[in-house]
Chain A
């Protein structure tokens, strides 16, 4: 296992380099630059700006400069927010997204697995149909639809919770729920499907035949084996949700990292695009490593040699 992890970490460095390289050139290939505005700045001023940020250098040189910075842990200054560095931006906004994401993932995992297991045990029953309908409903109404409805019901109508902004735990409830709904549905459906498969296996049937109670069979035999697809879905989900959702953060005005994903691209804020992407990539690859380790723990027959 130790050797496996070391090898994976080495591969991760290579993967990150590929991500940086591809993103770097993609970002510079799309038309427009960070200083294009509807009221175009005079050529001379644009030249000053480009010199300041080395945008006048040939592409390969900019690339080398960037690689050099990133190796030293410096993600550079933002073009859009000239008084802030990308390191600052990530440092300030990631904890916010991660905190929100933690609750969302927790809700999604807990509710999703419970609902999915119960549905599987009562296949074709009322709970099963109920959870299926809700899963499809929530998937068909994505967060940008659900979130304003939540705001209206719980904020404007009932005055229970603030409509938007960040600060207290009350501010966290609606965005966390909005974030959690979709994944909850997916996890419930995944758990149900793989649970059904596991339940039809001989060893589970046998356990049942031996007279073990449904719940015991579920927990001891079925759940563990049924969790592999859920884990596969869950870990990249953690990477995605912890690093923030653009839509939910924008709707609830949350100062998280997710907002920078999309806006930095619209702004052609090259350093932010790259910084945020690399950060996400590293997080994602680590999560997938954790997923693989979890497989091995869940199913000792899996070996990575």
Chain B
């Protein structure tokens, strides 16, 4: 059926228009100026208003996290028993916590950890998850089955067991959080990519590329994966808050940064108890997480649109 439509389309006169005079001049000028792939992506990304807003937001948060603590008058662990649970005011724009620490400063420090975690989780998904799922879906058959059963198995084994074991063997530390996240954070992505590839690889353009002799690597990296980017980007960006809270849980168990340092996730989790008595303790860290998520989402959507081969001109 799709063939018929295409023929009909060709017959439709309105779709055709004469080449403007200006372009008729000199056949040698027919080629557009050479644009690299990434240059093209960037050009289209810039045109996307939301994407640029997201990028700016991300830069602001990054500055807030990296530079903020240097100029803050309070250290993150300075307790002040005369200023316990103060609501936001001039001295403490985000208020103070249960031992009188400045929440603004703590959120800035926390954002460092959470940004790192969010970024790492995104990378783990994009690199391991996408490649694993891509290969599994593309190869199909026995390879696919075995690769997917491995994912099932890893999904089913209780993460908490591994976390406790890691905690005992490695002790606390941010690197250990990264290890733990890296271990399981790509599983869902692998599935999503695989399912996308399963349908995509039957599409005409892939068959065409195959007929033209494209290598497996080229097929996967240039044709299949870029076309699967929509759900991939959505999954990555929506998983960022999830990763930030997973980190909070892991820290809570004892793997990760130790108190009094805290990530945004642990600040928000600690604040839940105070939802009714000192809501700012939960509100500001959660708001920051939401902003980070929003920024990543805008950038992600923008990237998707600029990477989409079908939208490329």
Contact = CB atoms under 8 A, between A and B. Distances in A.
Report A-B touching, CB under 8 Å.
yes
Interface in B228-286: 230-231, 233-235, 238, 241-242, 245, 268-269, 272, 275-276, 282, 286
Contacts of B152: 15, 281, 284-285, 288
Contact of A200 (B141, B202, B269, B310): B310
B241 A27 contact: no
A149 B164 CA distance: 31
B282 A145 contact: yes
B161 A18 contact: no
A209 B9 CA distance: 9
Contacts of B231: 190, 193-194, 229
Given A149-B275, A229-B192, A281 B290 contact: no
Contacts of B227: 197
A74 B196 CA distance: 40
A265 B159 CA distance: 10
Nearest to B290: A140
A132 B276 contact: no
Interface string B278-299: 0000100010011001100100
Contacts of B157: 19, 22-23, 26, 277
A85 interface: no
A141 B286 contact: yes
B158 interface: yes
A142 interface: yes
B155 interface: yes
A201 B199 CA distance: 14
Given A139-B242, A152-B276, A27 B234 contact: no
B153 interface: yes
Contacts of A144: 269, 272
Contacts, number: 170
Interface stretch (A53-61, A158-166, A231-239): A231-239
A280 B168 contact: no
A242 B227 CA distance: 32
Given A139-B293, A228-B199, A8 B145 contact: yes
A236 B158 contact: no
Interface stretch (A42-50, A94-102, A169-177, A297-305): A297-305
Interface in A242-296: 261-262, 265, 273, 277, 280-281, 284-285, 288, 291, 295
B234 A189 contact: yes
Contact of B141 (A23, A196, A231, A305): A305
A271 to B, nearest CB: 14
B238 A232 contact: no
Contacts of A135: 238
B126 to A, nearest CB: 15
A231 B195 contact: yes
Contacts of A82: none
A210 interface: yes
Contacts of B192: 229, 232-233
A8 B311 CA distance: 39
B74 to A, nearest CB: 26
A210 B6 CA distance: 11
Q: What's the dominant secondary structure at chain A's contact region?
A: helix
A38 interface: no
Contacts of B199: 225, 228, 295, 299, 301-302
B59 interface: no
B277 to A, nearest CB: 12
Nearest to B9: A206
Given A136-B293, A194-B231, A229-B231, A148 B238 contact: no
B148 interface: yes
A2 interface: no
B165 A29 contact: yes
Contact of B6 (A133, A185, A206, A285): A206
A193 B5 contact: no
Interface in B133-176: 140-141, 145, 148-149, 152-153, 155-158, 160-162, 164-165, 168
A63 to B, nearest CB: 16
A291 B192 CA distance: 11
B112 interface: no
A145 B268 contact: yes
A265 B195 contact: no
A205 to B, nearest CB: 9
A186 interface: yes
A19 B156 contact: yes
Contacts of B145: 7-8, 11
Contacts of B215: none
B9 to A, nearest CB: 6
A271 B18 CA distance: 77
A139 B297 CA distance: 12
A273 B156 contact: no
Contacts of B272: 144-145, 148
A150 to B, nearest CB: 11
16 contacts: A15-B153, A22-B153, A136-B241, A145-B268, A145-B272, A145-B286, A186-B238, A193-B230, A193-B234, A197-B227, A203-B2, A207-B5, A229-B231, A265-B164, A288-B148, A301-B202
Given A206-B2, A210-B5, A225-B199, 5 more contacts: A22-B153, A29-B165, A228-B195, A229-B192, A261-B160
Interface of A: 7-8, 11-12, 14-15, 18-19, 22-23, 26-27, 29-31, 132-133, 135-137, 139-142, 144-145, 148-149, 152, 185-186, 189-190, 192-194, 196-197, 200-203, 206-207, 209-210, 225, 228-229, 231-233, 236, 261-262, 265, 273, 277, 280-281, 284-285, 288, 291, 295, 299, 301-302, 304-305
